[in-house]
Amino acid sequence: AQSVTQLGSHVSVSEGALVLLRCNYSSSVPPYLFWYVQYPNQGLQLLLKYTTGATLVKGINGFEAEFKKSETSFHLTKPSAHMSDAAEYFCAVTSTGANSKLTFGKGITLSVRP
Amino acid sequence: GAGVSQSPSNKVTEKGKDVELRCDPISGHTALYWYRQSLGQGLEFLIYFQGNSAPDKSGLPSDRFSAERTGGSVSTLTIQRTQQEDSAVYLCASSARQGLYTFGSGTRLTVV
C-alpha cells in the first residue's frame, strides 16, 4: 500500500519569497514520486518526478524537489515565488515495477501576495 | 491523437439519471486510469486498465460505478442512478511506461 500526506491545504507567500510545499509518502517498495500543478480550470501538468538516480530533481518553472528516503519526504521548493506560481500543487507516489496507479495527496493551494 | 481526450468537457444531469464519460487515450498507451477530483478531496483513484489484464477496480466507490475499455483503447466510465455526491471532475490518464502519465482535461459532472 502507498499513501501521500500533504500537510495543510493552503500556503501563502509573498512574491520573491521562498516556496516550500511539504510532501511525505509511505510505500512498502521503492517509490516513484511526482509533483503536479493545476492552474485554475486547467488539467494536471507534471512539474517534476523522481524515479531513480540523483535525489535532487529539477523541474519546470524553477521548481525542484529532493527525495529523502530517511525522512520519507519529497518536499517541493522554489527560491523566489512569482505571481504566476499561484495554483494547486499535488504530490503523488507510485511503486516501482509494472505500470501502477498514482496515489495523490489532497493538494495544497499556493497563493502569492504582491 | 496528441493528447488524452475526454468528452464531454461538462455534463449536467438530473439526480437518478445514468451518465457515460468517455476517454480517448494516447495511441499506443497500454495503461489507462480514471480519477475523481472533488473539492477538498484531492484526486481519488477509481480504476486502472493495463493491457489485457483484469482491471484494478479497487477505487470504485460503489456498484453504481463501472468502466470498460474496448479494444485496448477508448474507455467509458458509467455512473448509474447519479447522486449529488457524484458531482466532481473526472480525470482520465494514460501511460506507455512506468513513471510517465498524461492526463486529460477532465469532465466536470454536475448532478442537480
Render pLDDT for A76-106 as a digit per residue (tens, 0 to 9).
999 999 999 999 999 999 876 655 788 999 9
Distance from CA of A40 to the nearest CA of B (A): 12
Q: What pLDDT sits at residue B72?
A: 79
In angstroms, the first-to-last Cα distance of chain A is 41
State the Cα–Cα distance between residues B102 and A102, nearest whole angstrom.
Answer: 12
3-state secondary structure of A61: helix
Contacts (Cβ under 8 Å, ≥6 apart) of B73? B24, B25, B27
Identify residues of A whose CB sits under 8 angstroms from chain B CBs. Answer: 9, 32, 42-44, 46, 49, 51, 90, 92, 94, 96-107
State the Cα–Cα distance between residues A30 and A52, nearest whole angstrom.
Answer: 9
A53: left (phi over 0), alpha (psi -120 to 50) or beta: left
Render pLDDT for B27-81 as a digit per residue (tens, 0 to 9).
989 899 999 999 877 899 999 998 888 899 999 999 999 999 988 799 999 999 9
Average pLDDT, chain B: 92
Render pLDDT for A3-51 as a digit per residue (tens, 0 to 9).
999 988 999 999 999 999 999 999 878 889 999 999 987 889 999 999 8
